[in-house]
Amino acid sequence: MSPALTLTLCGLGLFLLGLGHRFPALERLDARLFSRLYAFFGEGRGLPVFRSFWPLGRTPVTLALLAVLCIVDWKAGALAAGIYLLAAGLEMALKRRLRRPRPFEALPGIQPRQPRLPTDPSFPSGDALRVWFLALVLPAVFGLAWPVSLTLPALALLVSLGRTAMGMHYPTDVLAGSGLGLLAAGTFFFILPLI
């Protein structure tokens, strides 16, 4: 199986798993898992690390890196930017359609731990989408050495876990956002050889 197909199928699987929160039993399980992770990563356990790496999933960082990519390799950069915009559009459409409240809005006793509060709905996690897409696309296009290529997904995992630790997203939100990032990266790798 090709890497592009593997990424695409894994992404689709993670997204569908995240969408499982629509079933009441899975939604309750999701809320319990969120509460346990949120409590585990209380103020003293790794929270400063999550806050430090949080900007890596933000839109301005993504746009800046895509701009650099366009400068280095305009074809790959334009393709990556186009696919990212489609994925971000899908993310926003899902947020508007499903309107899932964020954990700090819906669950008692949850205080947001992120410096800036988001105003959009919770499902799916846009930060997870962006950071996973970049973690997979950048090493390939820039031809980064294997240690860096392994470090970027580790950072993506850290950013994704931080979304729950800071009270912003349920685990299924993060799974779905990560899945969209993998799906977008798989699409990128399918199309790249054709241009």
For the stretch 98-125, pLDDT in tens is: 999 999 999 999 999 888 889 999 999 9
Instruction: Supply the CATH number for residue 95's domain.
Output: 1.20.144
Specify the pLDDT at position 175.
97
Query: Who contacts 14 (Cβ-Cβ below 8 Å, separation ≥6)?
Result: 175, 176, 178, 179, 182
Specify the pLDDT at position 174.
98
Residue range 122-133: mean pLDDT, rounded: 97
Specify the pLDDT at position 51.
87
Residue range 140-159: mean pLDDT, rounded: 89
With beta carbons less than 8 A apart as the criterion, state whether 53 and 161 touch.
Answer: no
Total structural domains in the chain?
Answer: 1
Handedness of CA 195, 136, 180, 127 (dihedral sign): negative
pLDDT at 45 over 80: no
Specify the length of the chain in residues: 195
Specify the pLDDT at position 195.
84
The rounded Cα 97 to chain-centroid distance in angstroms is: 19
Of 44 and 157, the one with more pLDDT: 157
pLDDT at 168 over 70: yes
Structural domain boundaries, residue 120: 3-194
Of 13 and 146, the one with more pLDDT: 13
Query: Smallest Cα–Cα separation from 175: which of 30, 36, 53, 37?
Result: 30
The rounded distance, in Å, linking the Cα atoms of 3 and 6 is: 5
